[in-house]
Amino acid sequence: MVKFIGRRVLTTLPALLGVYTLVFVVLHVLPSDPALLISQGSASRSQLESLRHEYGLDRPVWQQYADDLGALLQGRLGRSIRYNEPVSGLILEFLPATLELALVGLGLAVLLGIVLGTLAALRPHGWIDNLSTIAALSGVSIPSFWLGLMLIFVFSLSLGWLPVTTGTPWQQLIMPAVTLGLYSMGVISRLARSSLVQTLHQEFIVTARAKGLPPRSVILRHALRNSLIPVVTIVGVELGNLLSGTVVVETVFARPGLGRLITDSITYRDYPVLQSTLLVAACGYVLANMVVDISYHYLDPRIREGRAS
Amino acid sequence: MRTCGRTGRVTRRELVKTLTLGMGSLLPLSAAGTLGQAVWPHPAGAAAAGTPSAPPRRGGELTIGLYRTLDQLDPAVYWGPPETMVTQMVFDSLVYLGNDLNIYPGLATSWEASKDGTSITFKLRQGVKFHDGTDFNAAAVKFHFDRCADPATKSQYARSLLGPYDSTVVQDDSTVQLRLKEPFAPIFDSLSQGYLGIPSPTAVKKYGQDFQNHLVGTGPFTFVEWARDTHITLARNANYRWGTAFPGRTNAGPPYLERLTFKFVPEQGTRDALMNGRKELLVEAWPGPRSLPGWRRDPAFTTYEGVSPGTTWFNFINVQKPPTNELAVRQAINYAVSKDTIVKVFYPGIARPTWNLIGPTSFGYDPALDHVYTFDPGKAKQLLDAAGWKVGPNGGRVKDGVPLHIDVFTSGFQTENYKELMLTMLQDVGFSTKLIAGTPADRTVAGSKGLYHVINREFEASDPHYLVDLFASKNVGTFAWSMNKDPQLDQMLTEQDVTVDRKARYALVSSATRRILEQGYVVPIYITLFVWVTATAVRNFHMDARSWYPYFQDAWIQA
């Protein structure tokens, strides 16, 4: 297992370097000047030059790339230009809110997705199946910024059920989590349905039924468990999507978090923050996929025993 | 407001967009004195509420709903108006700016400037303690100024305020001399600002770059905590015995309030709810658009409305980019835009049209410059005709086959939503126009590079030194967005900076402003009010002369 994880880590390093390089290039192609933006008060030309020098913005671009990469490899994330705080501290400050949102959103998506998918699979083309098709289709096609605004409009402004920024943490979490999770819910429910339908046609299910096992046991213990592998795979991918989705949702709902930190930092051309937060997001994606791979070992004894992989 | 609060560094002036639906009273702007004077409008309904002679009562907490989170708080490093509301409570400055725009003693009890204006010797107040118990002294003053001037501090503003700073010399424990490389007329105004309030050197050394999370000063309030995303809390400094009273601040002793909590509430509706929900209590906030007229009427609330000093809301006109490189074209723009209509349509009850560059509460405001231009589309057409811009077949003007076209930038805030109307006014006299939208950051970049013909700006400051930042040719490429290189104007701007005599300086500022207006480097649009709303139970809510921010040590809460 250790060897497996080690190999996975090694294979993701080029991907992370690619992310870092891409972000660096995009940032430096944009017309911008963090020193100018930060000294909007007033600064003479010479003061601006000296600010640029202190921030290291007067170095040749290739040198900035190499220096920053070197610092990053040594675990030094630098200081935010906008906040004048260590980037690592900012990430630790903003990450929990984002993780909370992404995990609750994912939890909702998985729970609702599997329940809907299972119900639909039991009676293919029945009314539940049709309904869940519509739900999944809407979930996948409604853009989250629009859905978020509609939820605020209906549940906060019209019905007054949920406050937008006041209220308990849980009240504040519901609408953003639903907005975030609906897309994944659609994907998961469709996949759970088709996977379960396939499993239900397999011989061991026929055997189980013939043995006289109660339908509940057939479906939950045998069929569902066997059909979960593709679902788990997609959950890993969806966690990555959810993490990037928080950028939009946090902005719409004015929630603090990594997503908002990223969008604000783009406005300020806060290079150190952007480089590091985007890398952290990429790591999250990679980590989620790794966890999925590992979870196969527990879900499916066949993979566990064929450990040679 | 949502985007305003988050998508970038936004000055409070941009918040004014929240007020544009306000319909109530006319502007309480009185004609200012010749040198400009901070106006002190009577709060609506204040007379009716309670007895003015009631003695202040100690106790209670005040919650302030702020329109955005704060970015940084180290006075040597940060720039930002709302941040200053906090720093000027935690730090005392050497001197203060009164509402009469005169300078009053603070941590310095007296001072003497050398004949050539390059050195000022301050006598410091004795017995003053920092919140950490250490003594305030001359070394602390030197420590702060040196730190602001040190490039490694990466100061965004304090360093500019010190101008041609040379050094600070400690003469003895309570005497300190500030030395400048050349005279710098704005220096006293600079020294009165929160950025140059004196922090505890012990604490700065201890916390280093983390000092902004552990502010230690000598001010009337002590720093308690700062949660970046939600609030900042200050507490009463019971030992505060070294305060001074001056026009605009009445309480020289410790504050009456036990606690101040600044809550960061970007959404207007939520700020309004915060206010309304605790009507009987002590909350005060910036008003939302729909509620302002209501608050003006409601006796449970008091509104404080004023104009902070600085420029008016204006647009730079780019003198390097054809066709606005022609004087006639720039003047035509000034004649073609009806500011009255703009204010009537977009900002009724909350703004007033202006043709001047310097606002009426600023030092340097010259009423004679209020009418350099008038709304006169006929005159605009005449100027364009004379300059060879003839009306073409489709109504647009053309010279040598080139259409009279200008690009106008807008960052989409409500403070700029007059732009489309302005463009139709320009089209009426024969311009072809294009509106370009972007973020505030885009505006700064576009302005510094001179990408468009017309781009808006405003600057809130109590000293007209901002004219240097915004119009001196050495700042083309940074903040001088008209891109003008005008030796005559440069001369006036340089001279006013080194002229310490106020009368003489006023005359120079006035002629520089006249030059800017007559040369059409700008097109001014309007002046706006800033409004605070408090529960009427909050008494003695006094504002500073600089930014229309409250001096919280005067305020108290009626039982």
Task: Give the minimum alpha-carbon distance from A31 to chain B in angstroms, rounded to a whole number.
Answer: 7
- With beta carbons less than 8 A apart as the criterion, state whether B34 and B17 touch: no
**A84/B159 CB distance under 8 A:** no
Hey, is B396 helix, strand or coil? coil
The rounded distance, in Å, linking the Cα atoms of A274 and A91 is: 11
Sort out which chain B residues have CB atoms less than 8 A from A82's CB and list them: 71-72
- Selecting from A36, A50, A84 the residue whose C-beta is nearest the C-beta of B448 gives A36
The rounded distance, in Å, linking the Cα atoms of A106 and A133 is: 19
Mutate to test the interface with A, among B73, B153, B478 (most CBs of A within 10 A): B478
CB proximity list for B239: less than 8 A, separation 6 or greater: B129, B254
In B142-188, beta strands by DSSP E: 165-172, 175-180
A299 CB burial (10 A radius; 0-12, 13-18, 19+): middle
| Cα→Cα distances B426→A284, B135, B338, B415, Å | 53, 61, 10, 19
Q: What are φ and ψ of residue B395, in 5° steps? A: 95, -20
- With beta carbons less than 8 A apart as the criterion, state whether B221 and B236 touch: yes
Write out the H or E segment, with its range, that includes residue B123.
strand B119-124
Cα-Cα-Cα-Cα torsion B382, B383, B386, B387, nearest 10 degrees, comes to -150
Vertex B413 angle, CA B408 and B414, to 5°: 105
Ramachandran sector of residue A217 (left: φ over 0; alpha: ψ -120 to 50; beta: rest) = alpha
The rounded distance, in Å, linking the Cα atoms of B221 and B239 is: 10
Sheet holding B402-403, edge to edge: B390-391, B397-399, B402-403
**A41/B267 CB distance under 8 A:** no
Q: If you measure CA to CA, which chain B residue comes closest to A48?
A: B478
Mutate to test the interface with B, among A39, A145, A248, A253 (most CBs of B within 10 A): A39
Convert the pLDDT of each residue in A39-80 to its tens digit. Answer: 776 667 778 888 888 888 888 989 989 998 898 888 888 889
- Selecting from A42, A93, A256 the residue whose C-beta is nearest the C-beta of B479 gives A42
The rounded distance, in Å, linking the Cα atoms of B102 and A249 is: 50
Return the structure tokens found at B355.
């043709």
Q: If you measure CA to CA, which chain A residue comes closest to B265?
A: A165
Mutate to test the interface with A, among B11, B84, B157, B209 (most CBs of A within 10 A): B157
As for the ipTM of the complex, it is 0.74
Sort out which chain A residues have CB atoms less than 8 A from B157's CB and list them: 39, 41-43
Q: If you measure CA to CA, which chain B residue comes closest to A94?
A: B229
Interface of B with A in 205-224 (CB under 8 A): 209, 212
**B445/A267 CB distance under 8 A:** no
Task: Give the minimum alpha-carbon distance from A132 to chain B in angstroms, rounded to a whole number.
Answer: 35
The rounded distance, in Å, linking the Cα atoms of B404 and B402 is: 7
Sort out which chain A residues have CB atoms less than 8 A from B74's CB and list them: 84
Residues of chain A with pLDDT under 70: 1, 41-43, 164-167, 299-309
Return the structure tokens found at B180.
């400048």
Write out the H or E segment, with its range, that includes residue B226.
strand B221-227
**A254/B2 CB distance under 8 A:** yes
The rounded distance, in Å, linking the Cα atoms of B340 and B42 is: 25
Distance from chain centroid for Cα A120: 27
- Selecting from A32, A47, A53 the residue whose C-beta is nearest the C-beta of B160 gives A47
Work out whether the CA dihedral B345, B347, B352, B356 comes out positive or negative. negative
Q: Map tokens 């609060």 to a residue.
A: B5
In this structure, what DSSP letter does residue B282 have? T
| For chain A, the helix, strand and coil percentages under 3-state DSSP, each to the nearest 5 | 80, 0, 20
In B252-384, beta strands by DSSP E: 259-264, 283-285, 301-306, 313-317, 351-353
- Selecting from B160, B441, B475 the residue whose C-beta is nearest the C-beta of A37 gives B441
The rounded distance, in Å, linking the Cα atoms of B218 and B136 is: 8
Hey, is B239 helix, strand or coil? coil
Quote the pLDDT of residue B302. Answer: 85
**B7/A33 CB distance under 8 A:** no
DSSP code per residue over B12-59 = HHHHGGGGTT---SPP-PPPPPTT-----PPPBTTTTSS-TTPPP---
pLDDT (tens, 9 = 90+) of chain B, 559 residues, equals 223 332 334 444 443 333 332 223 333 333 333 333 344 343 333 333 444 557 888 988 888 888 788 999 999 999 888 899 999 999 999 999 998 889 999 999 999 999 888 999 999 999 999 999 999 999 999 999 999 999 999 998 999 999 999 999 999 999 999 999 999 999 999 999 999 999 999 999 999 999 999 999 999 999 999 998 889 999 999 999 999 999 889 999 999 999 998 888 776 666 766 666 553 334 444 454 456 777 788 888 888 888 888 999 999 999 999 999 999 999 999 999 999 999 988 887 788 899 999 999 889 999 999 999 999 999 999 999 999 999 988 889 999 999 999 999 998 777 888 999 999 999 999 999 999 998 888 898 899 999 999 999 988 888 999 999 999 999 998 899 999 999 999 999 999 999 999 999 999 999 999 999 999 999 999 998 888 888 888 888 888 888 778 889 999 888 7
Q: Is B8 on the interface with A (CB under 8 A)?
A: yes
Quote the pLDDT of residue B172. Answer: 96
The rounded distance, in Å, linking the Cα atoms of B418 and B528 is: 14
In B338-411, beta strands by DSSP E: 351-353, 390-391, 397-399, 402-403, 405-410
Mutate to test the interface with B, among A27, A84, A92 (most CBs of B within 10 A): A84
First to last CA, chain A: 10
- Selecting from B79, B270, B439 the residue whose C-beta is nearest the C-beta of A40 gives B79
| Cα→Cα distances B542→A164, A201, A297, B246, B292, Å | 33, 79, 69, 11, 20
The rounded distance, in Å, linking the Cα atoms of A154 and A177 is: 16
Write out the H or E segment, with its range, that includes residue A245.
helix A225-252
- With beta carbons less than 8 A apart as the criterion, state whether B148 and B196 touch: yes
Q: Which residues of A make CB contacts under 8 Å with B?
A: 31-33, 36-45, 47-48, 50-51, 53-55, 79, 82-84, 93, 164-166, 251, 254, 256, 260, 263-264, 267-269
Interface of B with A in 275-334 (CB under 8 A): none
Task: Give the minimum alpha-carbon distance from B489 to chain A in angstroms, rounded to a whole number.
Answer: 17
- With beta carbons less than 8 A apart as the criterion, state whether A240 and A287 touch: no
Sheet holding B405-410, edge to edge: B351-353, B522-528, B313-317, B454-457, B405-410, B432-437
Convert the pLDDT of each residue in B5-30 to its tens digit. Answer: 323 344 444 433 333 322 233 333 33
Q: Is B477 on the interface with A (CB under 8 A)?
A: yes
Predicted TM-score (pTM) above 0.80? yes
**A53/B2 CB distance under 8 A:** no
Task: Give the minimum alpha-carbon distance from A38 to chain B in angstroms, rounded to a whole number.
Answer: 7
**A83/B72 CB distance under 8 A:** yes
B412 CB burial (10 A radius; 0-12, 13-18, 19+): middle
Interface of B with A in 46-85 (CB under 8 A): 71-72, 74, 77-80
